[in-house]
Every structure is written in C-alpha cells, then in structure tokens.
Amino acid sequence: MQITLQTFGAFRQFGRNIELDLNDNAKVADLRIPLVAALAEFSAKFDIAGLVESSRFATETEILDEDVALFDGNLITILPPVSGG
Amino acid sequence: MPQFETGRIFVDVLDVEQHSLDAMAGLAFVTGTGIAVRNGAENLFVGTVRNHNLGKKVLGISYDVFEPLAKQSFLEICQEAQAKWGEELDFYVVHAKGKLDIGGVSIVIAVGSPHRDEAFKASRYVIEEIKHRSPVWKLEHYADGDSEWSKGCELCSSNHTHEAHVI
C-alpha cells in the first residue's frame, strides 16, 4: 500500500512529502524501516536512523500508537522531537 | 456562594508574515471589561527570540507548526490546567509560525484567575507542557550563516518504548 508522509521540522529538508510503499496489514511501527531506506542518500550527513527512531506519527487530531493499522492512501504526519515556546 | 462561570479558552497559531503576536490582546482577553471583570489576577507570559543559544550568536528563528494538532494540544493543555487549578480560569495561548528576528514574540500565554497563586501555577504549566508536547519546531539561524533545528523533546506515544523527553 501507498502511504504519504507529511514532513515537519528537521524532516522538511528531505521534502514536504515522502511517499512510502508498505506491505498490506502494515502498522504505524512499520513506517520506520522503509522511511530510513527512503532517506538513505542523506545518511552520510544526518543521523537519519536516530531521527526516525525519535519521531512519532500523527493525524491532524492525534499522535498514533505504534500498533495502529495503516490503510492505502493514508496521509500521516511525522513529528520529530518538538521545540515550541 | 456564587456559582463560578466556566473559564474561556482562546488558542491560535499566527503566521508572523501577516500578523504580529499581541501580548496586550492576551491580557485583555483574560481580564475582561467593565462589570464582566471577575478575575483578580492576570498572569502574562511572553516568549521572545534571544540573540544567543548554546554559545552561538543567533540572528533569528523560523518556527514550523503542525497547526491542527498544535491548536488541539494547546486546548487540551489549558483544559488540564483548568482541571488542576480551577474551571473558572481563563486562558489565551497564541504561538507564532514563520521567521522571527531577535526580540520577535514567539508565544503569548495569558491566564486569568480569581487569585494569583493559581494564575502563576497554571501559566507555568501551560508553557512547560507546550514545550514538551506541542508539534512546534524551531530552526535557529546563526551569525555564521549556518542554520540548525533545535534538538527538542521526544514526544510520547502510549506504547513506544523510548524515553519520554530527550534534550
């Protein structure tokens, strides 16, 4: 299935959206490995794996638990560590 | 005993290219006017961009905000503060989005309360929770031409196994 990740913060430099292909029945936790792979070209300059691991995934109304099921066409937002105020 | 009225909450995110944050508007919101003034204490917190961070000279900060979830988090945090310190407390929370120069106002938090102790505590709670929970990110611009995203606080999800806050 196809998932679109909307980026914020430190992920902005990799594009406003990142398209990922995931297996059917994938859950939120399953976004991380293909995301790291999709950003592999930047890994020499950035700690992509660390940034992805420290991030959470969300919709417009909630931060998603890791075991929430994903569906084809979902728009998910990735939230790196926050620094408001 | 007179019955108290449930406090009012106003939250927003403003694009600073179109609007400046107005601390006095926040103060006016939680103070009220005329016979509608029911608070005896108003606490105003203003966050501004300073000219240094971690030993580097800062020229400005760009704020990135996931608006729908940020506004929802502001509302939830204010409601939590009402549950802790009084349903009658009034709150005004506005956060900036976009690029600010030194001295630019990044956040305004105003709290109105019948008494000062609750106003101070609720105000401190709101800013601390926003820093740890709200989807806002800052990109610092340095005098040497470099820019860097602040390290920030790792968000919690109920079943993720990592530390809640990593600075």
Domain that holds residue B23: 9-149
Interchain contact, B153 vs A83, CB within 8 Å? yes
Total domains present in chain B:
1
The β-bridge relationship of strands B41-48 and B9-15 is: unpaired
Domain A2-79 fold:
Ubiquitin-like (UB roll) (3.10.20)
Mutation target vs A (from B13, B63, B66; most A CBs, 10 A cutoff):
B66
Reported ipTM: the value is 0.95
Helix axes B116-133, B67-85, angle to 10 degrees: 150
Helix (H), strand (E) at residue A48 = helix A48-53
Q: Which of A41, A82, A35 is nearest to B139 (CA)?
A: A82
User: Over the stretch B97-148, which tens digit does the pLDDT of each residue have?
Assistant: 999 999 999 999 999 999 999 999 999 999 999 999 999 999 999 999 999 9
Hey, where are the domains in chain A? Answer: 2-79
Whether residue B64 is contained in a domain is answered as yes
A12 touches chain B (CB under 8 A): yes
The closest CB to that of B151, out of A53, A66, A81, belongs to: A81
B9 touches chain A (CB under 8 A): no
Q: Which of B34, B94, B41, B40 is nearest to B70 (CA)?
A: B94
Structure tokens at B151: 């390290």
A43 touches chain B (CB under 8 A): no
pLDDT grade for A32, boundaries at 50, 70 and 90: very high
